[in-house]
Amino acid sequence: MLEEKVILVNEKDEKIGLMPKMEAHEKALLHRAFSVFVFNDKNELMLQKRALHKYHSPGLWTNTCCSHQRDGETSIEAGKRRLQEEMGFVTELEESISFIYKAPFDNGLTEHEFDHVLIGSYEENPELNEEEVAEWKWMTLEDVNKSMKSHPELYTVLSLIHI
């Protein structure tokens, strides 16, 4: 299997190169990413708990899914691909906002991303890929915010930034 590469970008989200994902995280270089937030008709957010063997933030709760676009792939295409790979479903997505953030981890890696936020809706239960996701649940944003305030250690840095 080929090593996954991320798209290095400048602060205008213009591609400036490609780099292996781990190297970009070791060097804290700005790269393109996306975060998917899926809601049901009760306006509850689908959260996932990251698998325990993930290289950062294992066993922590986060938004529906996050990842990196492949070279030549739009954010929407990438979001649909990862939803299928991680959560076992595809739904229509639309791009909401984008922003830059930088978050160092305890393991020496750093996320430095130009993050595209994608929003979708879905009513069914996902079919989890256990290599990626340990658990899932629906929560209202109000309940997520309360939980994050009382137990921030249960959530990824990215979800604390987003929500």
Q: Which of 65, 86, 111, 113 is catalytic?
A: 113
- Measure the CA–CA gap between 9 and 83, rounded to whole angstroms: 23
**Beta-carbon count within 10 A of 34 CB:** 26
Tally Cβ neighbours within 10 Å of residue 48. 26
Which residues neighbour 63 within 8 Å (Cβ) at sequence distance 6 or greater? Answer: 35, 36, 37, 45, 47, 48, 158, 159, 162, 163
Our answer to whether residue 65 is catalytic in this structure is no
Characterise 13 by phi-psi region: left (phi > 0), alpha (psi -120 to 50), beta (else). left
Catalytic sites, residue numbers: 66, 113
